Every structure is written in structure tokens, then in C-alpha cells.
Structure 1
Amino acid sequence: MTQASLPVAVDVMGAERGSSVAVEGAIQAYRELGISSILVGKEDEIRASLDSLGAHNEEGLSIQHASEIITMDDTPSIAVRSKKDSSVRVAFEIVKEGRASSVVSPGNTGAVMAAGVFISGVMPGIARPAIATLIPKVGDSPPTVLLDSGANLDCDAHQLVQFALMGKCYATLALDLRNPRIGILSNGTEASKGNDITRAAAATLSHMRNVNFAGYVEGRDIGRNGVDVVVCDGFIGNIVLKTMEGTAYLVLDSFKHTVESDWIAKFGLWLAKPALKSLFRDRLDPSSLGGAPFLGLNNIVIICHGSSDSRAIRNAIKVADAFVRGNLIGELDASLSSIDDVWPDSFEGSIWAKVGKRLEKRKPKKNPV
């Protein structure tokens, strides 16, 4: 059986709305898209959800029992190691065993990252994985790739450069952008802005021949057409992401309250309702994308919002399946390898020195004579 024909491993226990939401999303993915899933979690809860949703005999869904749950309050690295039968860990294990193609989880982001690093492993040359989130742009332009949007709270300049390179490759592969423009998120566009870390990363990227580096960008530029990839650490990226989500809901709520006070505006809203519904459902609702990939791991891993609904889970499964079929990992690895010759000499003492040691360890040992 090829990897593309394998089911997706879905961690159903991590969702804030309960396991039934994730189960329902998996049902939708199979019935509407023909994508099979292995539902990972407490078997009795999963069976109860399947029964209540009329899917107890659904051919494309199977169950992998996992007796433990990693909560949002658990310390990720400790929980992944100590809770060996947690749904997050078991989901990664069945991918490693070759029984599933990829992982979808709405659970603890840190735990998903820890399990990914411990079990799947990181791609050669990558220090840390990063979450790449697609942010809608004005007009009909392709979305902006924002990374890291929540995996790493603290990053050094070398890691930001790695994120930029992964973002470049991802934008090329997923969005068909031949020479994506890359910017570093900062508190101003002037070269003197930022901090020591962003300035060091900017200096490095500006000297890389195969990187279309546009310099610093501000938060307001993320949804504009200035750049295609925006790089930052996960602490800032997650705040940006959640602020944008909150702003979208604020605008919608304010618009609703303003319209309700005027009957003419109400009539206009009634006429515009289909277009507005399409706008928020297809462009501004996070559920339309389902989730975001962890770039840099050896397997496809999609992390969903903790409050994901069934539509978000369905779409996350769709994304995971599409990335597996499109060989995203292999293509990303090849793309990163193709720019090995442009690493600057100024990276002495950096992660790239460690990369050499890691690659040396991977070389097969010669048989003793």
C-alpha cells in the first residue's frame, strides 16, 4: 500500500469542543471527499460518537484506542514522554509504523510539536519545525505565508533564516510562486528597526543569492501585496494570528450592530447577505483552511485550532491528504537541498556546524576489514 492510499491519523481527544467534533469532521471527510481516517483516542467515546452520528459501520473509519489525553495545561515535552498511550503520541506512532500517512490534531500545540520531533524526527539540516499559516491578502492575490505562527516561543537569528527558507519553498510548492518575496516582521521597515535577532537574520538573508529578501515588514503589511512570506518567532506569530482572528469577529459584530439600527441598512444587508456569507466562510473563517502544517518534520502534520469545529477538522484532513499525495515532504527536502550552495560563510558556529555533525552520524559505518 502506497503512502498516498493510507488513512489519516486523527487525534480526536485534543479538541476543546470534545471528541465528537473531531469524529464528525472525519465522517465528513470520508463521506464528502473519500478520505479515510484512523480515529485515535478513547474507544468507548469514539464509538458513542459514531453511533450518535449514524456512522458506526462507516467503512472508511477505524479506531485506534489510546487511553490517555494530553490537556492544554500539560507541559508538552514531559507529557509526551510520560503519557505513552496518549492520543497525540499514538497518532504519531501509527504513522511511524506505516499504518497512516499523516497526523491531524486540534490538541496541545507544544505536545504535537514535541511528539513530532521525538517520533517523526526533523528533516536534515532543520533545527526546529515551524507552523506555516496562510493569511488572506487583499484582492485576488495568493495568501501570505506566516511562520512561525506558534511552535517556537524563542528563536535565534539562524532559526529565523531557516523559517524564511522553508517559507520560500512552501510558497513555491503550495502557492505556485516562483520567486516569493520574503520579509521579517518588525516594528518598522527601516533597517535600524527590530532587535539584535531580527537584524542578524536580515543581514544574513540579504546576502543570500537565491532569496528574494524584501527587508522588514510591519503587521499591517501581512495582508497586503508587499511580500509573500512573513517570518517571525512563534510567540509574535501566534499573537498576530489571534489578533487578526479577533479583529475579523470585531468587524463582523460591529457591522451587524450598526446595520440593525437602520431598516434601510437591514434591507441592504439582506441583499448582500450571500456575498458576505461567502466572504467570511471562504476567506476570513479559519475553518476554511482547517489547519496549518508543521514544516520541517519528516511527516505531514496538520495542527488545528483548539476550538475547531467539524468543518475545520474535515478541511484539515483534506489538506493533510493533499500534501501527502503531492509529496510535500520530498519536494520540500529537495528544494531546501537545492539552496545548500548559498549558505553564507558568516554562519560559523551556528546550527549549520551542528548539521554537518548530524549528517556525519547518518553515514553508514564501513565494515571492519
Structure 2
Amino acid sequence: MGSTRVRIAIDAMGGDNAPAEIVAGALRAQEELEAEVLLVGDPQQVEAALKHHGHASPIEVVPSEGTIEMEEEPLPALRRKPKASINVAMDLVKRGRADAVVSAGHSGAAMAAALLRLGRLSGIERPAIGAVLPTMIAGKPVLILDVGANVDCRPTFLEQFALMGTIYSQYVLGNTDPKVGLLNIGEEPNKGNELAIQTHQLLQENPAIPFIGNAEGRDVLSGHFDVIVCDGFAGNVLLKFAEAVGEVALQILREELPRGLHGKAGVTLLRPNLKRIKQRMDHAEHGGGLLLGVAGVCIISHGSSQSPTIFNAARLAKDAIDNQVLDRIRSSYEKPAVSS
């Protein structure tokens, strides 16, 4: 691959804070990640945002027309608006002009556009969105998938999520021996609904998946698991609940610490610690979820994303490309799983 720089297409029109915050995050990504950023959006609005931030380095703006609104049904809207920013961004990857897409827009539209334009990886029946959450062990996050791409799942889908999650955990999160769990209501193999019971058996029988058993709700953030698989309905509820708990905990800290013995002086002394706490708990630090299973790197960020989230999403995309996640998933399905 030599000295070729990673090229990231960023949907400048997606999200509640587009394009200003998206552009700010993209500029930082181009400067700090040594990546080439392509901003996809309405040229006038994007150029105005660039001018506002007084960017020094040149950045390419790829014109698009319109966006997919949150209330729109993804597939009809994507077909009705072929030049919408998410469609144009996916086309850049399809044509080889970009290596990855980052979008904080309509997550359903981003997934549908990825499937329509890029297609699935061979052997993958359904893609999954993987989200990284902090755990009780510092520096040891947990990857949860699926967190929203598939509300209804079959056991084979969850088996594929587990294999993709294992690869991502190994090569991007740096876990040499990742531990995979299945989200369930009890530790015993026969607990849960039919989906959980059948999936447990599949995961146990697949030698390519380092499965250690069921993970109850209290285990998710314990640090005992590196990857937890579930259907997209449970995963999305879990993700949003975890994000809300993080925000509540931070708010309680802000309110209660000044009431202590040393008051505001104590808060000043603890400010570096509070900053580290926020970094560990804030979902913005993780950038978003990687859509695993499509034939391209696609990061789906929060609709409320601000510039730090977009920067971290670009970093996440670069990590996935640098660590050849797509090629590793492909090769895991090309070879028999029993080979060692």
C-alpha cells in the first residue's frame, strides 16, 4: 500500500449539526490523521462552513443534492434522491475514489445505501452495526453488535456477527485473545428464547469464535467480555440506555462535587480527573458504529454528532482500513473455519 493516504468521504449534510460541526471534525481529521478527506454536500453550504473555520489545507468538496430526512423511509427516499449526500458518498467508495464513508445522517439510509451501492461481503447474510462501549476495566472496551441494523435475527446472523466482531476486536481493538459472549437473561445454555438457545449452540460449535458463554445485562460493562452479540432490537435499547447512564453519571458528578468539603476549589483540583472520566464514558469519544458485513468501510455516527465525534469516526474508519478488517472478514469465509 506504500505511501498512499487513506481517503475518507464524509457526509457533510448528515446529522443535526450539519454542516458546521461535520466540517469542523473533517478538517481536524485531515490535519491530525494524515488522511485525505472528501466533503460531500451542498457546495455553497460546505464552502461557507469551511470559510467560517478558516481552514488552511486544501480539502475537496464533492457536490450533492439534498439529504435523506429522518422521517423518510430509507429505500424509497434513496431511489427518489439519487444525488443525496449519502448516495454520493457511497458511490465514491464504489468507484474507488474513497476508502471509507462517515455519516451522522439517517442511520437506516446509510445502511440501505451501503447495501445498494457496495453490497454485502461474500458469506454474510446481514450486516451489523458494532458499537464500542467503555467497561469497568480502563483501556478495555467492549464491542456490541448488532446495535440497530437488524431488528429481527436468525441464529446464523448472530453467528456471523460473532465472527466479524472477533476479527474487529483482534485487529482494531488489539485483543489478542478476545472473549465473545451472547446477550441473554441467564448464564445457563438453556436460558432465553429460542433465538438465544439456538445461537448459543452455534457459537459453541464454531471453532473460529472464542465463545465463553452467555452475558447477562450486568456483565455487559464488566470487562469480562470483549465482544457481545445480540439482535439489533436489544442492542439498540442497550446502547441508548448505556449512553443515557453515562450522561446521568457525568451530570451527577458535576452537581455533587461542588457540594463537598472543599467546594469549587476541590472541583478545580479534580478537573483533570473529571476530563478523563468524561473521555471514558462519553460516546462521542468512540465516533460511532462500524457497519460490518458490507463491501466497504462505513461508520454510522450519532445524529447529534459534533466535531469531536466526526473526528473520532474518521479515526475509526482509518483504523479499520489500516488493519484490513474487510480483507480479514473475507478470508475467514473463503477458508474453512476449522483450519488453524
The normalised TM-score by structure 2 is 0.94
Using a 3 Å threshold, how does the CA distance of structure 1 residues 136 and 173 change in structure 2: closer, same or farther? same
Aligned to 2:295: 298
Q: Does 1:74 align with 2:72?
A: yes
Q: CA deviation at 1:123?
A: 0.5
Deviation digits for residues 246-273 of structure 1 (CA, Å, limit 9, x no counterpart):
1111112122222233452543332221
Structure 1 CA distance for aligned equivalents of residues 77 and 21 of structure 2: 23
Deviation digits for residues 197-239 of structure 1 (CA, Å, limit 9, x no counterpart):
1111111112223332222111221111322210001111111
Matched residue of 1:132: which SS?
strand
Structure 1 CA distance for aligned equivalents of residues 92 and 300 of structure 2: 17
Aligned to 2:234: 236
Does structure 2 conserve the Cα–Cα contact (< 8 Å) formed by 1:4 and 1:325? no
Does structure 1 conserve the Cα–Cα contact (< 8 Å) formed by 2:141 and 2:223? no
What one-letter code is carried by the residue in structure 2 that aligns with 1:256? R
Using a 3 Å threshold, how does the CA distance of structure 1 residues 182 and 18 change in structure 2: closer, same or farther? same
What one-letter code is carried by the residue in structure 1 that aligns with 2:57? E
Q: CA deviation at 1:296?
A: 0.7
Using a 3 Å threshold, how does the CA distance of structure 1 residues 15 and 2 change in structure 2: closer, same or farther? farther
Among 316, 325, 329, the alignment partner of 2:326 is: 329
Q: CA deviation at 1:47?
A: 0.9
Aligned to 2:53: 53
What one-letter code is carried by the residue in structure 1 that aligns with 2:278? F
Aligned to 2:285: 288
Choose 1 or 2 for highest CA Rg. Answer: 1
Q: CA deviation at 1:2?
A: 7.8
Q: CA deviation at 1:6?
A: 4.7
Structure 2 CA distance for aligned equivalents of residues 32 and 141 of structure 1: 22
Among 98, 101, 118, the alignment partner of 2:99 is: 101
Aligned to 1:260: 258
Q: CA deviation at 1:315?
A: 1.6
When the two chains are superposed, the root-mean-square deviation of aligned CA atoms in Å is: 1.9
Aligned to 1:359: none
Structure 1 CA distance for aligned equivalents of residues 332 and 267 of structure 2: 47
Among 282, 287, 310, the alignment partner of 1:313 is: 310
Structure 2 gaps of 5+ residues are none
Among 191, 199, 214, the alignment partner of 1:201 is: 199
Aligned to 1:5: 5
Does structure 2 conserve the Cα–Cα contact (< 8 Å) formed by 1:4 and 1:321? no
Structure 1 CA distance for aligned equivalents of residues 23 and 207 of structure 2: 47
Q: Work out the percentage of aligned pairs sharing the same amino acid.
A: 35
Q: CA deviation at 1:341?
A: 4.3
Q: Which runs of 4+ in 1 moved over 6 A?
A: none
Q: CA deviation at 1:3?
A: 10
What one-letter code is carried by the residue in structure 1 that aligns with 2:207? R
Does structure 2 conserve the Cα–Cα contact (< 8 Å) formed by 1:165 and 1:336? no
Structure 1 CA distance for aligned equivalents of residues 146 and 22 of structure 2: 25
Matched residue of 1:275: which SS?
helix
